[in-house]
């Protein structure tokens, strides 16, 4: 491994626009909405990992990404994501 880059993006999107939420059966209409109530939003985190190194095999890359998935911060962020 010659190096790597991890990028993390955070955004808030309206629940009604969240395709993953809709497919999981979470509905914006199920939340109480009245005068003065804002439309519900969900936090979305996207992680991108780039590994650098010509000597890395596909098995090496998969193993490094598997290890990255075990990171406590990653697991916490995944736990608060929409399904």
Q: Are 5 and 50 in contact (CB under 8 A)?
A: yes
Assign residue 3 a region: left if phi > 0, alpha if psi is -120 to 50, beta otherwise?
left
Lowest mean pLDDT among 4-8, 13-17, 26-30, 47-51: 26-30
Task: Name the range with the highest mean pLDDT among 21-25, 34-38, 41-45, 48-52.
Answer: 48-52
Give the chain's length: 83
**DSSP state, 58?**
H
Above 70 in pLDDT, residue 30? no
Q: What is the pLDDT of residue 76?
A: 83
Q: What is the pLDDT of residue 66?
A: 94
Task: Please give the structure tokens belonging to residue 39.
Answer: 């439309």
Q: What is the pLDDT of residue 7?
A: 93
């Amino acid at each position: 491994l010659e190096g790597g880059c991890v990028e993390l993006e955070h955004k808030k999107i309206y629940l009604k626009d969240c395709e993953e939420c809709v497919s999981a059966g979470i509905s914006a209409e199920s939340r109480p909405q009245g005068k003065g109530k804002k439309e519900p939003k969900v936090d979305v985190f996207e992680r991108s990992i780039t590994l650098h190194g010509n000597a890395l095999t596909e098995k090496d890359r998969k193993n490094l990404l598997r290890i990255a998935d075990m990171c406590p911060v990653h697991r916490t962020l995944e736990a608060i994501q929409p399904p």
